[in-house]
């Protein structure tokens, strides 16, 4: 159990973002790069293509459901299997009549990549995440704006600031104020007057 966690932690910490391609709104990871990364960390790792025991072919064909391939990866004496339907470039599954060896071979390598994700490598791609584990994506914090009223202490502080920074335009002042306060029409009117020199502190 601890060994599985160790493998997963090691491989899930690898950032694969620069090694992916986007096609038809889907993200693909290079199988050659993925396998090389696994072998760097675990030289004894092996993978195999699971064959249909009845036909000894590297795929499983069902006249009603289509064609599927399966792979098995073993790392540190832990084996995990993965399966994937044979699909075309639009990511639509192919029937037995439509599938050819090119599509089967391509799907086998995609299946291997997905199999490696079960051990942690690029797993966040399949979860729809942008960042690997260890670099959590934080939800943006919603800033609550403080209401600003003409005549309150904050208003007086702003008027003092305007008086000391006469080179600032109304646009500059409004931008600064809106970053911190909720601005009403009355406040906008007061600020306009203050910047033009008509408001007393």
Res 21: pLDDT: 83
97 and 54 in a single domain? The answer is yes
Residue-range definition of the domain harbouring residue 112: 2-126
Please state the domain count of the chain.
Answer: 2
13 and 79 in a single domain? The answer is yes
80 and 163 in a single domain? The answer is no
Res 2: pLDDT: 47
21 and 116 in a single domain? The answer is yes
Cα–Cα distance for residue pair 30/113, rounded to 1 Å: 8
Q: And the tokens for 33?
A: 């790069």
Res 4: pLDDT: 46
pTM for this structure? Answer: 0.60
48 and 8 in a single domain? The answer is yes
Domain for residue 98, yes or no? yes
161 and 91 in a single domain? The answer is no
Provide CB contacts within 8 A for 146, sequence distance 6+: 154, 180, 181, 182
Domain for residue 97, yes or no? yes
Res 195: pLDDT: 80
Res 143: pLDDT: 62
Which own/partner pairs from 98-105 qualify as long-range (CB within 8 Å, at least 24 positions apart)?
99/59, 99/61, 99/66, 99/67, 104/58, 104/59, 104/67, 104/69
Residue 18 DSSP symbol: G
120 and 161 in a single domain? The answer is no
Domain for residue 135, yes or no? no
pLDDT means over runs of 10, the chain (201 residues): 70 90 78 96 97 96 94 96 91 91 94 95 74 49 74 84 80 82 84 72 47
92 and 171 in a single domain? The answer is no
**Torsion angle, alpha carbons of 184, 190, 193, 199, to 10:** -170
Domain for residue 134, yes or no? no
């Amino acid at each position: 159990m601890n060994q599985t966690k160790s493998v997963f932690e090691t491989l899930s910490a690898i950032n694969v973002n620069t090694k992916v391609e986007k096609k038809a709104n889907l993200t693909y990871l290079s199988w050659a790069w993925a396998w090389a990364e696994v072998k760097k960390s675990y030289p004894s790792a092996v993978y195999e293509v699971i064959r249909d025991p009845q036909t000894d072919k590297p795929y499983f064909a069902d006249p009603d459901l289509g064609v599927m391939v399966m792979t098995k990866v073993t790392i540190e004496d832990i084996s995990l299997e993965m399966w994937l339907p044979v699909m075309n470039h639009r990511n639509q599954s192919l029937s037995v009549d439509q599938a050819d060896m090119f599509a089967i071979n391509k799907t086998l390598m995609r299946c291997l990549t997905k199999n490696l994700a079960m051990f942690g490598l690029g797993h966040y791609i399949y979860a729809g995440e942008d960042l690997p584990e260890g670099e959590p994506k934080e939800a943006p914090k919603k800033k609550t704006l403080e209401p600003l009223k003409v005549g309150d202490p904050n208003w007086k502080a702003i008027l003092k600031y305007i008086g000391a920074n006469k080179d600032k335009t109304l646009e500059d002042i409004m931008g600064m104020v809106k970053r911190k306060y909720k601005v009403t029409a009355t406040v906008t009117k007061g600020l306009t007057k203050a910047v033009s020199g008509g408001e007393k502190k």
